Amino acid sequence: MLTDTQCKNASCPADKPRARLADSGGLYLEVSPAGSKRWFYKFRLDTKEKRLALGSYPEVGLTAARRGRDEAKRQLGEGLDPVQQRQQTKLKARSIDGDTFELVALEWYEKQEPQWSEAHAVRSKRQLERDLFPYLGKRRMTDIEAPELLAVLRKIEARGAIETADRGLMLARQVWHFAMAEGRVKHDITAGLKKALQPYRGRHFAAITEPEQLGTLLRAIKAYRGGPAVRAALQLAPMLFQRPGELRAAAWAEIDFEAALWTIPAQRMKRNKFGKENGDPHLVPLSRQALDILRALQACHIPDDHTDVCGIDRGEKRTILSWLASAFCSSTLTVAVGGCTKSRSASRSAPDPAHCGSDAS
């Protein structure tokens, strides 16, 4: 068995990577060539040799090291792994600040963000910061009860944001599940809260399902006399069935006139981050009518500043409909069940189709 004097005077020969001084019952002091000294308890569990670090000497003295060894032996006698018990103790001993809802939620967010699209990540973090952190951010998760979280969600409902409250509950639920998996909370307080909120039922966008109404829409699109880009977009939309954002950001480099094919890169599609980075491009066949519209639009000259008309060279990597969004601010098209109404803002005069190549209609 070791003595305090032996521990104090222990050293490691220069020609060895370490020196080990045995005490008793599997306890030993390991000395490095640099002079550092650490206590270890060596044991066997399920026929495998393992060791448990008990601290550095002289911060942990000989008597304290023996007490640590005895406690590890007691755990072994109960069928427990002392190393795993040490890890669980460290997890349970997290600081008070580390258990606040805000910090745990941000830890969860950082683990999820690489899998999300940029838009979803921004939207989720914005809601945490706007709707949950101001009320729960500095509170320890173990101290938050279901009624407190419910009161915060009802504040969101009170401003008429029923869907936002539903998403807020979803975010809180995922944070609690994350905390439970790490042993930082014992219960999921979000269970059952959905029934206490106003039911949210997703609403579909208005859609034309009757042939006569579809005909009315198509005639209204054909009669539209706004700018060439907006007119082309309206005509292409019912032909290609693509999202407005994908159509608006289409680039000439994506259009293959000879193959009659529009290739939309994966990063421009509505996909998760993995799909955007690793997915296949989206291929859209182009009909003869769609190609005619695109050729007519290419003959037009759409300026960078969205005011006058200038040329766009074939194959140039510029946005076909870069000013579509701003054009809609000054041009409107309203389609009603009983007919159609076409109006154009007086603040901007639409180009005469005769001034920009063949008419796309």
Residue span(s) of the chain under CATH 1.10.150.130 come to: 97-196
d(CA 359, CA 262): 22
Q: What is the pLDDT of residue 143?
A: 92
Cβ atoms < 10 Å from Cβ of 247: 21
pLDDT of 182: 87
CA–CA separation, 69 and 80 (whole Å): 14
The per-residue DSSP string of 29-69 comes to EEE-TTS-EEEEEEEEETTEEEEEEEEEETTS-HHHHHHHH
In the chain, the largest separation of any two C-alpha atoms, in whole Å, equals 104
In this prediction, residue 174 carries a pLDDT of 96
CATH architecture group of domain 97-196: Orthogonal Bundle (1.10)
Alpha-carbon distance of 45 to 97, in angstroms, equals: 36
CATH topology of domain 211-355: hpI Integrase; Chain A (1.10.443)
Count of CB atoms within 10 A of residue 126's CB?
A: 10
For 249-296, list the strands marked E by DSSP: 255-256, 261-264, 282-285
What's the pLDDT at 98?
Answer: 59
Asked if residues 41 and 55 have their Cβ atoms less than 8 Å apart, the reply is no
- In degrees, rounded to 5, the angle at the alpha carbon of residue 159 between the alpha carbons of residues 158 and 160 is 90
C-beta atoms surrounding 285 within 10 Å: 10
Domain with CATH 1.10.443 in the chain: 211-355
Could you tell me which CATH class the domain 4-92 is placed in? alpha beta
What pLDDT shows up at residue 85?
Answer: 85
CA distance 269 to 246: 7
Per-residue model confidence as pLDDT tens for the chain (361 residues)? 889 899 999 999 888 889 999 999 999 999 999 889 999 999 988 888 899 999 999 999 999 999 999 999 999 888 888 888 887 777 666 554 558 999 999 999 999 988 888 888 999 999 999 999 999 999 999 999 999 999 999 999 999 999 999 999 999 999 999 999 988 888 999 999 999 999 877 677 777 888 888 888 888 888 888 788 888 888 888 888 888 878 888 888 888 889 999 998 888 887 766 777 778 889 999 999 999 988 888 887 554 433 322 233 333 334 444 433 333 333 333 333 333 333 333 333 333 433 444 343 3
The answer to whether 140 and 99 are in contact (CB under 8 A) is yes
Q: CATH 3.30.160.390 residue ranges in the chain?
A: 4-92
pLDDT of residue 253: 85
CA distance 284 to 39: 68
DSSP 62-93: HHHHHHHHHHHHHHHHTT--HHHHHHHHHHHT
* Interatomic CA distance for residues 349 and 227, integer angstroms: 9
Question: Tokens 């029923």 identify what position?
Answer: 162
Residue 123 identity (one-letter amino acid): R
